[in-house]
A and B are shown apart, each in its own frame.
Chain A
């Protein structure tokens, strides 16, 4: 029996492919609690006062201005994303709201149920806490910034201006500082109109559907984040289709599903390495036989 290099590689490729496809159907197991937390943001109530930005920066020790400076709406003329000094920003969409009023959209980390950032993180610095928030441990972070590429909402920001000890910046739902002490996240507590409702995810989700049901004229029939990317902890209801207010139309499948299945499938029970070295052993045996 003769085997050349091309044939060998082809055989290995086919076998590896078959092994991985057979594992694709395995579902991802995430360790989340049933009473995990969530936030519902009702965009029809937001007036763009930006007090959430003030509260967030103040409570996280980030630079902030005096509170009356936040009344100035001119900064909202340009589209903004969270930055390394702002975990949350409010964007204004003129005349998109009810009665020709502007629609204001607060953006921050969505705290996905199956976060792509945590999946991409090779050192486990980003984790999905069983209670809901996606948390970040700067001590583990090696600064690869894969999370920034992975995030479907482009939320994580890196301290590029910090030369020596840069870390990743993103909303942590005030988990350590507020929630663990039985307090609300700072932005939720500050909001004058209670645009955001904080509670168990199932409860705020029920409330979202209740509002849509009782005011079908006010809302479009879609809770953004209920199913997007496999569900998020932060959800929106709005009077305007979400694609018009820069909330991307996303698959209901979580983006890390495919990659995680392949990776986890291959390495399940150390099957990948065993297969590889088994094949190599087989090839060696075949070559030896030929030589004999």
Chain B
């Protein structure tokens, strides 16, 4: 079972994706989706050898809701900065955020969240996965940005994965 489905979440996601793309739940769509859900994880397994332990998957739903809300608010803030702030008053900064997340999957989720939320962008990882290099569009106080990322997103991700 473990050999046939190295990543059960990925298999389920692929099946769901195919059914939604076909926009039907007929036997053809489900069969093809099931086929993709078995074959793609098997073919990509060598590139994803470890198994992500997501202890509380339901909390991920609440997390996605929080991030979506933040995306709207922050898009408006960034739009205001672009429109109304004189170019020489925009204080961009590189920020190093020390992180302590258990798995590469959690680190990737945090990095993606940072890029999608307003005003910040993940630019690089540290070679040991313990820090993220972030570029902030307008950060008069870089430490506050770092603290907000740690308390708002990293703490929640930790609770999902451990």
Say if A and B assemble together.
no
